[in-house]
């Protein structure tokens, strides 16, 4: 029986991220994560029915509004911070060389 050689591994370096592409990726990811908050906001709206009538309407409208707006807000922040994060990474990677990963 012939022994199999170990797999060849290569080290690669991430030199640069395209800021807009990273922003789009984080916008979609954060938007999807923002969907997880919808049940919490809808529960707040349901619990608002126990408040006095003056506070009930405002709290119900606010929490229901947040349930539908929050994923979009989260996605917008994901895009903005993705672009900023890529810019900062690219700036630092020029000085110290970037992240090194090992691939097969």
Region 97-102: what's the mean pLDDT?
89
Task: State residue 28's pLDDT score.
Answer: 97
Distance CA 104, CA 102 (A): 7
pLDDT bin (cut points 50, 70, 90) of residue 60 is: confident
pLDDT bin (cut points 50, 70, 90) of residue 20 is: very high
SS3 for 39-76, per residue?
Answer: HHHHHHHHHHHHCCHHHHHHHHHHHHHHHHHHHHHHHH
Q: Give the SS3 label for residue 77.
A: helix
Task: State residue 32's pLDDT score.
Answer: 95
């Amino acid at each position: 029986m012939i022994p199999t050689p170990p797999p060849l591994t290569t080290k690669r370096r991430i030199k640069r991220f395209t800021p807009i592409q990273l922003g789009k990726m984080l916008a979609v990811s954060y938007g999807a994560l923002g969907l997880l908050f919808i049940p919490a906001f809808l529960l707040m709206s349901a619990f608002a029915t126990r408040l006095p009538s003056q506070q009930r309407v405002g709290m119900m409208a606010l929490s229901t509004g947040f349930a539908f707006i929050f994923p979009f807000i989260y996605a917008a922040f994901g895009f903005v911070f993705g672009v900023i994060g890529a810019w900062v990474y690219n700036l630092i990677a020029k000085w110290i060389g970037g992240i090194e990963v090992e691939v097969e």
